[in-house]
Amino acid sequence: MSSSALKKIAFVEDDADLREIMTMSLSAIGGFALLACESGKQALEKIPGFVPDMIILDVMMPQMDGPTTFRELRRITSLENIPIVFMTAKVQPGEVASYLSLGAIDVISKPFDPMKLPEVLRKIWEKVQL
Amino acid sequence: MKFIPEVDSLLDSYLQNRDKEVLEIQDCLKKHNLRQIESIAHKLKGSAGSYGFEELSAVGASMEIAASNCVPSEVEKSLSEMTGLLTRVRQFIAEQRKR
């Protein structure tokens, strides 16, 4: 795993309004290079060519949900060690534990503060580097 | 309610999309499609607070529960709160933009 700064983030979110504000937050405020995907299927097509430092996955998505997308991404050799964070409006302790047991490095709750999200992700990244 | 200047350029579009959702929820109520309402409400819960509108997120949470429990009267109550809040949010934004 790289010990460099967090620079490239791919996120998967089916809600267009959340994609808009995440793009503003992570790109304009956070200064990250971004890839936004609207579905698990699109993520599987696009993320391998982007090779991000970190992936953020929405949990509840139609067709392919977050956990399924997670498992499919992990099957791609170039992505098998990329840290993945789940983002969800369902943050019951049991659900969080299930996402972590899948291998996610953290779980962020929705709604989020767009001004603070980049810092939250940098702290998660630093934790992974230890 | 919180005004985030960096988000201002996204607000009009966000609120227009909520207006469309109000109509969609009304239509779903007529068709007894509570599952679709649950999905819309879940997204509202997740997005509104991110735009600075925590009260709207709370209404989304209440509506999601009402739809999940198949209680149309509670969905209607949440919908009424949602439309009222959308008016208040627009007034709030207009005031902030004058400053």
DSSP notation for A8-38? EEEEE-S-HHHHHHHHIIIIIIT--EEEEES
- The closest CB to that of A24, out of B10, B17, B42, belongs to B10
Contacts 24+ apart (CB under 8 A), B69-77: B70/B34, B72/B29, B72/B32, B72/B34, B75/B25, B75/B29, B75/B34, B75/B37, B76/B29
Q: How confident is the model at residue A3 (pLDDT cuts 50, 70, 90)?
A: low
Q: Look at A89 and B45 and tell me if their CB atoms are within 8 Å.
A: yes
pLDDT over 80 (residue A92): no
Interface contact B47-A18, CB threshold 8 A:
yes
Least confidently predicted of A10-24, A36-50, A87-101, B13-27: A87-101
pLDDT band at A108 (very low <50, low <70, confident <90, very high): very high
Tokens 């992505």 found at: A79
Across the range A94-107, mean pLDDT stands at 92
| Confidence bin at A87 (pLDDT 50/70/90) | very high
pLDDT band at A93 (very low <50, low <70, confident <90, very high): confident
Which is it for strands A54-58 and A84-88: parallel, antiparallel or unpaired? parallel
Rounded Cα gap, residues A42 and B57, in angstroms = 28
CB contact under 8 A, A111 and B57: yes
Per-residue pLDDT at A4: 85
Q: A-side interface with B, Cβ within 8 Å?
A: 15-18, 20-21, 24, 28-29, 60, 88-89, 110-115
Residue A97 · residue A129 · CB < 8 Å: no
pLDDT value for A129: 87
pLDDT in tens, A55-65: 999 999 999 99
Residue A125: pLDDT band (50, 70, 90) is very high
Q: Is B42 on the interface with A (CB under 8 A)?
A: yes
For residue A94, the model assigns a pLDDT of 84
Which value, to the nearest 10 degrees, does the dihedral of the CA atoms of residues A51, A53, A59, A60 take?
-40
- pLDDT tens-place string over residues A30-73: 999 999 999 999 999 999 999 999 999 999 999 999 999 999 99
Span A105-116, mean pLDDT? Answer: 95
Packing angle of the helix pair B34-47, B54-68 (nearest 10 deg) = 160
What is the rounded average pLDDT of the residues B22-42? 97
Helix (H, G, I), strand (E, B) or coil at B70: coil
CA A12 vs. chain centroid, Å, equals 7
Q: Do B51 and A17 touch (CB under 8 A)?
A: yes
Query: Mutating which of B11, B20, B50 best tests the A interface, going by the most A Cβ atoms within 10 A?
Result: B50
